[in-house]
Amino acid sequence: MNTPKILSLIAAVLLLTLLFTSVFVLDETKQAIVTQFGKPVGEPRTQPGLHFKIPIIQKVQFFDKRYLEWDGDANQVPTKDKKFIFVDSYARWQITNPLQFFIRLRDERSGQSRLDDILDGETRNAIASHDLLDIVRSTNREPEIADEIMEDLENLEKISVGRDKIEALILKRANERTSDLGVQILDFRFKRMNYVDEVRNRVYDRMISERNRIADQFRSEGQGEARKIQGNKERDLAQITSQATREAEVIRGKADAQATSIYASAYNRNAQARELYGFLRSMETLEKSFDDKTSIILSTDSELYRYLKRAN
């Protein structure tokens, strides 16, 4: 192979290399700026497709065009009414001006760090400027009362701001501070709030005490109702027993009267009947007065002796 062909081949390779290094592809999720010796040149590239740059001396910096996530750390923050709480928050943000973003922050990691400072600071300021009720509640809606035990809920303290407005305030102030960074914070929300351990334990103790108070009230009402039922039962039982005793005595009196009438009728009918009546009455007396271990002494003129002697 001669020298001219070799030089031509080398030239072709260099030309292809320069051609490929002068073209870059930008997809739908990315935006880019071109830098020359570390400084940006030209306008940001935001449209997807093929783009060109000067090979070797120019480089491409890519940035995400999509919504990005910011997740803050849970921090202990005091409220306006001096109650310490842990606040965990999150936000969504977007790089809206990649050129400005590159000049001020260089890359997304620096952007996340800068947002940490801004959003954490604004969150602390907002929490410290409002009472706890305004932070955890959004409206003054009337609570639904399930029973009379929860009547105290009717007197809930009214809020003047509310959680939604505080989140909107943090979002507004944070965007004011990021306006020159080439980013926009799209949304900010409180993810989770909780008392610090010391305060949370006191809250739990108060909740347990309240539940015990309600349980004692239910128990007291139940015992009162039980005593009322027991009293009504004893009253009804005494009334039923008295009524039954009265009716039994009436029936027994009527039976005795009827028996006496029968005996009197039979006694007055003839001498044999009188004799039979006297015998039956004597036998009833013997049956009720003695048992198999009783010993008696009868005179010869006793009615009982007379019947016993006649039986022999």
pLDDT number for residue 129: 92
Strand segments, DSSP code E, in 175-300 are: 183-195
pTM of the model: 0.61
Domains and CATH numbers, the chain: 3-64 (no CATH), 68-140+157-195 (3.30.479.30), 271-312 (no CATH)
Q: Are 77 and 85 in contact (CB under 8 A)?
A: yes
pLDDT number for residue 271: 60
Question: pLDDT tens digits for the chain (312 residues)?
Answer: 567 767 667 766 666 666 667 888 899 999 999 999 888 898 899 898 888 888 888 889 999 999 999 998 888 899 998 888 889 999 999 999 999 999 999 889 999 999 999 999 999 999 999 988 888 888 887 766 555 545 555 566 788 888 999 999 999 999 999 989 999 999 999 998 888 777 777 778 888 888 888 888 888 888 989 999 998 988 899 899 889 888 888 888 888 888 777 766 766 666 666 666 667 777 777 676 766 777 777 677 766 666 666 655
The dihedrals phi and psi of 143, each to the nearest 5 degrees, come to -70, 150
303-311 and 271-289 are packed helices; what angle lies between their axes, rounded to 10 degrees? 100
Q: Are 33 and 55 in contact (CB under 8 A)?
A: no
Closest among 188, 159, 150 to 172, alpha carbons compared: 188
List CB contacts of 55: < 8 A, sequence separation 6 or more: 17, 18, 21, 22
Closest among 187, 212, 186, 207 to 195, alpha carbons compared: 207
pLDDT number for residue 125: 94
